[in-house]
Structure 1
Amino acid sequence: MLFKYLPDEIFQALAGSNKQLIERVLIDLAEVFYDHAEDPIKDKSTIVESIEDSLHKMDMLSWQEDNKDAFDSPKTIHEYALRIYHRLVNTGWLVEEQELYYISVLMSPQISMLLKALVEISRHGKRNYGATVLSILSNLESVTNSPLERGVTLNQSAEACRDFSAHLNQILLGIRSLQRELFASKDPKAIVSGFFDLFVDGILIADYKTLKTSNNPFRFRRKILELTQSFLSDQEVFKRICQCYADQQVISFSAAESLVESDCLTIIQTFSNIEQRLERIDEYRYRLEKRAADTARYMDSSRPGMANKIAGIITDAAAKSQLPMLKSVIGCRIVGMESAAAPLKKREPPLPRIITPASVSQNAIAVRDSNRRFHEARQVTVAKLQGYAQRQLGENKEKHILDFTIESVEDFVCFDHLRYVGSLGINAKQIEEEFDVIFTDKYVDVHEFIECREFVVSRRSKTC
């Protein structure tokens, strides 16, 4: 049952005449019991002092006896604190444990969880979606890198997605209910104040503006979907994750398989339809902002919605053959440019544009490839020089310059740099150790292609 682990009188304290005092005290006691750096078992005097501190923050104290007890109403802060303390103990919020003359106070796990949930509902704090999405992505990347050791973090990502999805539903329903409340109100001040107090401070997402920028937190959505789908498609990784689930959660392998599949489908479903849900939230947000802006604009000139009313009057008047005389409103400035001004229309996002790759002609590709091959042919490397010299000498010990052949650009570059092997630096030492270039003072014309000093290339002896 839903209330199986809760005392029957648990909500009597919050339903009586003193519920405002009890509520304020419970909110402050939540911080006392949630202090993770201290012992969860507190001394009775500490709890009573905490209740007194909470009462000091209140402007006015008034205690109403629900059961018509014979006790007098409390007169001091300490008496108020003791009355509230006993009320919390009697209804099951606090549990006393006595050891000799020492009384300690604690809060059972079920009551602690209930109080934490109630405090979160009352505060309804904003969420930072960027941190949530990044934590999910980080967990999925750790699963990808180490599925057997860190596969269980997939379950944490799924839980974060469920919480994230539930928060989106809360925002949507909260805006919808707030819209009904504000639209039904006739007080301009209540409409404007309700918009800022209930919507901007209570419901709006903390990093809502970033959702409309290029640096929005959902830019990692595709990466998250790809990683999650890879877990289901890769059988080897899927088995390792299931084994990690089975080891960490002490369940059977078949149960782990169904749990892993359920977690993956949760993540995929959450991030697949996120755009549609955000569009609905944005539509309700626009209606609220439009109503608040309309109310603020007409607050000093006329009633909200006057533009539509004036349009209706003009339409009705145009249907009559003779205009009615408005003697009672002569001299009153109810119709004018200020009161009939219409709010700005909603800006529609630009239509998506299909990006197509620019086509490159085959001639341009051929010219680019030929230029690249030409530059590669002009590059001089030790391997090219050594291979050219070995190919030209063959089995001969030496070879004259006129016996060298030049059949390509690579051959010409190697032939031209072969004369300067001694000045090519450390990289050419390997060629100098294998070949010796001997020059003469005579200039010759090689194949009517280049004129240079005559030289002979000979192989060095290995004993040298």
Structure 2
Amino acid sequence: MKLFGYLPETLFKPLSGPKKHVYARLLMRLYERVYSARILETPLREEVVKQIEIGLSEFGIGSMGDLSEGDPDEDQTTSQAHYLAYYRLRDTGWLTEETEKWRTYVDMNPDAFMVLGAITDFGNSRVRVAGAVVDVKNNLEAANREPETMAQGLANAHDTALRFARSMRRILAGMREIEDRILGNPNAAAILRTFFQDFVDGLLIADYKQLKTSNNPYRHRRTIASLAGDMLADAGLVGKISRAYIEQGVMAPGATVATAEERVIAELEKIKSVFEDVGPFMDKIEDFRDRLERRIRTTVHYMDVMGEGSAERIVRLIEQLSKIGTDEVEIRLRSPDVGLPITSLALYTPPPPKAPPERTRFKVPKQDPYLRAYVQATTEFDRMVRVSDQKLLEFARRHMQGRDAVSSSEIEIESIPDLFAYRAIPNLAAVGRSVRLGEFTITIEEGRTANDWIDVTAFRIDRTRTTADAA
């Protein structure tokens, strides 16, 4: 079974054996130095084999025995490790050969290429929050300003908002994992090392401090949510973007305007919800940072008094130094090599108080110009199709003019109201097979009556004769 219907099973064979780490690093090397570096150029087989040879030498693999896994399906015609790796990647589907004249070109499986690109993106844990906000704002404003030509901006803004939301969720999940790791470690040096390496260097937002300044693009998040709401309320704008989606190929071939409108509405609602929820989400990150840095500050404060005191350590150090007769003495420090200075300047500084939000005038959403016409049309339609006794009596009188009896097969339907009245007449006499309707009697007959409009139970309308009529 293919993974998600895209990748064949053979691709995972090199990544599931004893040398899986070697093949994983080889694939990433080929992706970064060969295929992603030259998108429009297909390399020759000699270039690919040369890159594999260089990669294996960097990994410390120089012979066939270092790479062989004892698989009976391995190519036994070569005695060189780099050719063995190349044949294995080719036979499992990672690489595909194409011969043109006397040269052999090697390309990478397109689906596998996209997967490696996604894995490469995972290595960048930092997120530029302000950059994502700017992208969404610019694209959304472009789509609002020129819906016929810049409708693609809405789709781009939606994709950026989704990536932004996923990245923020990933940061919060990673913070919780680091917190569990730090709180469960009794070693103070390991706590500091984990804090600086995993949290500060690996997971902290790249422009987090800039988000606290007044002149930062992050302040536009409320503008984005408001603009998305205004675009949702503008039915004409939604219609223009929907038609542009179809014309510009954003929608799949054969899509209708109604389907495009559903997508446009869903994208606008998603953008609005993401940037309305990002404020509380950032508060959660801020609370976590505050809590974690307080723990690190407490650890640094009490690190000097954990175990023996500083005086005892200095005395023991002097005693050991007196026993050494050399001029050069190696001194090992208890503080970890964190790569950053540990001073009072590196400790947590409480954030300044937040300024009150600016006063903004509430904007009443624009009334849909087509809403009143739509309500009026639906009301007229309901009035037209609603059946009442008076409508049925008028229908019978119109078809009984100058006649004492008429059957259902003789009645002609000329309009939608006639259709609903014609369909409702046999239902009146469905219980007793006969019923009075004003000066007429409706009687159910055997069989059915079919015409170009409908197929119903056969019936007959008779004029009811009273005593005055008989006289």
Per the normalisation by structure 1, the TM-score is 0.61
Report the AA paired with residue 37 of structure 2. D
Alignment CA distance shift 1:218-1:353 (3 Å) = closer
Deviation at 1:147, TM superposition (A): 1.1
Q: Is the 8 A contact 1:286 1:346 kept in 2?
A: no
Partner-residue secondary structure (3-state), 2:8: coil
Q: How does 1:1-80 map to 2 (within 5 A)?
A: 2-31=3-32, 32-36=34-38, 38-39=40-41, 41-58=42-59, 63-67=66-70, 79-80=80-81
Q: Is the 8 A contact 1:17 1:64 kept in 2?
A: no
Partner-residue secondary structure (3-state), 1:13: coil
Partner of 2:120: 119
Deviation at 1:108, TM superposition (A): 1.9
Partner of 1:210: 210
Alignment CA distance shift 1:44-1:291 (3 Å) = farther
**Aligned pair partner of 1:292 in 293, 296, 315:** 296
Alignment CA distance shift 1:91-1:286 (3 Å) = farther
Deviation at 1:99, TM superposition (A): 4.6
Tell me, in whole angstroms, the C-alpha distance in 2 between the residues paired with 1:92 and 1:356. 61
Deviation at 1:174, TM superposition (A): 0.9
Q: Which runs of 5+ in 2 are unaligned?
A: 308-345, 361-471
**Aligned pair partner of 2:284 in 280, 285, 308:** 280
Tell me, in whole angstroms, the C-alpha distance in 1 between the residues paired with 2:83 and 2:296. 46
Q: Deviations over 1:136-181 (max 9, x none)?
A: 1111221122111112210110010001000001101111112112
Q: Deviations over 1:266-293 (max 9, x none)?
A: 1100100111111112222233333334
Tell me, in whole angstroms, the C-alpha distance in 2 between the residues paired with 1:210 and 1:97. 51
Give % identity.
Answer: 30
Tell me, in whole angstroms, the C-alpha distance in 2 between the residues paired with 1:103 and 1:72. 19
Q: How does 1:338-417 map to 2 (within 5 A)?
A: 347=350, 350=353, 353=356
Does residue 302 in structure 1 map to residue 306 in structure 2? yes
How many residues get paired?
A: 314
Q: Is the 8 A contact 1:210 1:217 kept in 2?
A: no
Tell me, in whole angstroms, the C-alpha distance in 1 between the residues paired with 2:264 and 2:242. 6
Q: Is the 8 A contact 1:124 1:203 kept in 2?
A: no
Partner of 1:194: 194
Alignment CA distance shift 1:344-1:88 (3 Å) = closer
Per the normalisation by structure 2, the TM-score is 0.60
**Aligned pair partner of 1:254 in 252, 258, 262:** 258
Alignment CA distance shift 1:127-1:345 (3 Å) = closer
Partner-residue secondary structure (3-state), 2:10: coil
Stretches of 4+ aligned residues off by more than 6 angstroms = 70-73, 343-346, 354-357
Structure index of larger Rg? 1
Q: Is the 8 A contact 2:96 2:106 kept in 1?
A: yes
Partner of 2:268: 264
Report the AA paired with residue 70 of structure 2. N
Q: Deviations over 1:436-457 (max 9, x none)?
A: xxxxxxxxxxxxxxxxxxxxxx
Alignment CA distance shift 1:291-1:95 (3 Å) = farther
Does residue 182 in structure 1 map to residue 182 in structure 2? yes
Partner of 1:220: 220
Tell me, in whole angstroms, the C-alpha distance in 2 between the residues paired with 1:98 and 1:294. 66
Report the AA paired with residue 213 of structure 2. T
Tell me, in whole angstroms, the C-alpha distance in 2 between the residues paired with 1:125 and 1:19. 24
Partner of 1:160: 160
Tell me, in whole angstroms, the C-alpha distance in 2 between the residues paired with 1:70 and 1:236. 63
Tell me, in whole angstroms, the C-alpha distance in 1 between the residues paired with 2:221 and 2:132. 12
Alignment CA distance shift 1:169-1:195 (3 Å) = same
